[in-house]
Amino acid sequence: MTKTELYTSVAEVLAKFNVKQAAQDEILALLEVKKGGVKANPEEFTVFNADGVATHVLCPITNLWFPCTEDNFYFTEGVLRGRVSKFGEKLKKDFVKAIKASKEAILNDVINGVISPEAGKEQVAQLDASTLVVPAEVAELGSAVRPA
């Protein structure tokens, strides 16, 4: 049974048994077929030229604006594949890898008695609170200010 068929069947049963309209509306609202996807406004993170072509995109990882070139982003058949820049993708990957290695080292230190479990928990909490730092050489390639 599809969601649409289920919705129709439930609506018929509710009407048949004279369920109050307010209750019917609430139940049917829960069963409504919803469209998936993210609701985002591309103009918030993309700069377009007069022809409607994207010229710059804001990378959500580095929080920097990069020109829409193959040096900065991945393209498939001339179409931008996503808004994460190549630099942001590498930084995120390296950051996650370093955090994982650090947590494993802390765990080994706790197991081997080098540090106490409490000290290990504190160090892991510090790692979890750490944030990604954008190196100066990457920051120079992008712009912190939205291009005009």
Q: What percent of the chain has pLDDT over 70?
A: 95
Read off the amino acid at residue 45: F
Nearest to 141 by CA among 79, 90, 81: 90
Same domain, 28 and 60: no
Averaged pLDDT, 24-36? 81
Same domain, 24 and 46: no
Averaged pLDDT, 68-83? 90
Same domain, 23 and 89: no
Can you give the pLDDT at residue 35? Answer: 66
What contacts 81, CB < 8 A, 6 or more positions away? 73, 74, 75
Continuous segment of H or E residues that includes residue 24: helix 21-31
- CA distances (Å), origin 27, targets 5, 30, 147: 15, 5, 48
Can you give the pLDDT at residue 7? Answer: 86
pTM of structure: 0.65
* Least confident residue range of 34-43, 99-108, 137-146: 34-43
Query: For all residues of the chain together, what is the average pLDDT?
Result: 90
Same domain, 42 and 16: no
Can you give the pLDDT at residue 79? Answer: 84
Q: Give the separation between CA 75 and CA 100, rounded to whole angstroms.
A: 30
Range of the domain at 126: 38-148
Number of domain units in the chain: 2
Can you give the pLDDT at residue 77? Answer: 87
